[in-house]
């Protein structure tokens, strides 16, 4: 018989933090860098917990080179060909260069359809210093995924493995007990995702994080909240709900360091101007960058030579207003989180969930002057 889960399932926009008495006088006192310890990976990592998504647009070496200065992580997209000399040389020669590439803050990515032997030879290569792997598939419930996680863990006991995506506690624990250090949480919340429309499957992201983080922490694992953040406040809410890491795609898209051509468009504004005795509407040039879902038709054509006949597009293509350097974006996010920490009395990043009480709200923003 069909069953309905009656519990209320919430998204970021359904809650706000309750401000609390605090011992912090300034956001400068909020320590945004956490020391991470993992279930299997034997090393510790000092990081702010923010990750750039392993999408072809945002998972770039250029993004990595800026984010690592803020101790934020980049999951490089899986279409980098490290067997080609140039990328390989770049990673092996710069792996410990704080001014450019730094391997501590980098994951490489794979799916289940990718060349396994190639991946294993890269992970076994002592000169290739990236020891963090993101195993990413849209539906983390298929049995092949657990088998693959087990196989990778058996072969490489000392690498950091992040795997997803799922949205329930049971599957979070299964993946961790079979070798994952971090489980990636999110089905359908992404800014360019159409899974919920195409399949009707998904779970509101805040509830997914609450459930999966509790399950993960119970067995010594961690979670990464992946998708659905639209602003710094959403990132803070993800940490508040128990996420150890938060992955961002759309928020980092449209920047100089994200891949894709800059598109310039002439836009007609509502402003009237007078020129040579004639009145007309002002035309303005605006810049955009293309951002696309990794399951979109465009991604399938660009990276897989077309859409397989048994698949349908589960992603869309959008034009993101140009944002300049990603450095400004990450600084704004970190500033926002520091401010949240000051409001709720969390001195350390790790303390955010302990200090979090959410109000359930009907409306979080006053949009009388638009949605900015």
Residues near ligand 5GP, by CB under 6 A:
53, 55, 138, 165, 186, 190-193, 195, 226-229, 247-251, 293-296, 314-315
Closest approach, Cβ 195 to ligand 5GP, in A, equals 4
Q: How far is it, in rounded angstroms, from Cα 29 to Cα 25?
A: 7
Q: Which residue is nearest to ligand 5GP (CB)?
A: 315
Cβ closer to ligand 5GP: 240 or 342? 240
Cβ closer to ligand 5GP: 169 or 189? 189
Q: What are phi and psi of 185, to 5 degrees?
A: -115, 125
Q: How far is it, in rounded angstroms, from Cα 164 to Cα 141?
A: 9
Q: Is 193 labeled as catalytic in the residue annotation?
A: yes
Give the active site residue among 13, 48, 75, 193. Answer: 193
Contact in structure between 315 and 192 (CB atoms under 8 Å): yes
Closest approach, Cβ 357 to ligand 5GP, in A, equals 25
Cβ closer to ligand 5GP: 296 or 342? 296
Q: Is 224 labeled as catalytic in the residue annotation?
A: no
User: What b-and-e string marks burial along 295-319, b requiring 16 or more CB atoms within 10 Å of the CB?
Assistant: bbbbbbeeeeeebeeeeebbbbebb
Give the active site residue among 195, 340, 342, 356. Answer: 195
Q: How far is it, in rounded angstroms, from Cα 346 to Cα 32?
A: 10
Q: How far is it, in rounded angstroms, from Cα 225 to Cα 341?
A: 19
Cβ closer to ligand 5GP: 80 or 343? 80
What DSSP string runs through 131-187? -EEEEE-S-TTSHHHHHHHHHHHHH-TTSEEEEEEE-SHHHHHHHHHTT-SEEEE-S
Residues annotated as catalytic (active site), given as ranges? 193, 195
């Amino acid at each position: 018989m069909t069953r309905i889960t009656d519990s209320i399932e919430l998204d970021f926009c359904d809650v706000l933090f309750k401000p609390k008495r605090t011992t912090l006088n300034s956001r400068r006192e909020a320590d945004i860098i956490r020391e991470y310890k993992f279930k299997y990976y034997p090393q510790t990592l000092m990081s702010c917990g923010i990750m750039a998504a392993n999408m072809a647009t945002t998972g770039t070496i250029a993004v990595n080179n800026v984010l690592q200065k803020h101790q934020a992580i980049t999951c490089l997209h899986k279409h980098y060909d490290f067997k080609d000399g140039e990328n390989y040389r770049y990673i092996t020669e710069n792996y410990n260069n704080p001014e450019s590439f730094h391997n501590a803050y980098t994951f490489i990515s794979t799916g289940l359809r990718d060349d396994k032997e190639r991946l294993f030879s890269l992970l076994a290569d002592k000169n290739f210093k990236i020891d963090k792997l993101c195993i990413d598939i849209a539906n983390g419930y298929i049995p092949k995924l657990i088998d693959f996680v087990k196989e990778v863990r058996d072969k490489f006991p000392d690498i950091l493995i992040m795997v997803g995506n799922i949205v329930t506690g049971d599957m979070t624990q299964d993946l961790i007990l079979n070798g994952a250090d971090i489980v990636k949480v999110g089905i359908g919340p992404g800014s360019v995702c159409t899974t919920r429309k195409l399949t009707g499957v998904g779970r509101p992201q805040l509830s997914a994080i609450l459930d999966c983080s509790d399950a993960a922490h119970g067995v010594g694992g961690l979670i990464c909240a992946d998708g659905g953040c639209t602003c710094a406040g959403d990132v803070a809410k993800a940490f508040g709900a128990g996420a150890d890491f938060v992955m961002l795609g759309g928020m980092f898209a449209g920047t100089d360091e994200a891949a894709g051509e800059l598109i310039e468009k002439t836009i007609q504004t509502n402003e009237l101007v007078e020129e040579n005795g004639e009145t007309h509407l002002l035309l303005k040039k605006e810049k955009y960058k293309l951002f696309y879902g990794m399951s979109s038709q465009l991604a399938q054509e660009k990276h897989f030579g077309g859409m397989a006949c048994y698949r349908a597009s589960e992603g869309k293509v959008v034009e993101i207003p140009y944002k300049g350097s990603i450095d400004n974006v990450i600084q704004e996010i970190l500033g926002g989180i520091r401010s949240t920490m000051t409001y709720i009395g969390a001195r350390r990043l790790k303390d955010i969930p302990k200090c979090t009480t959410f109000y359930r709200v009907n409306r979080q923003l006053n949009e009388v002057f638009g949605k900015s």
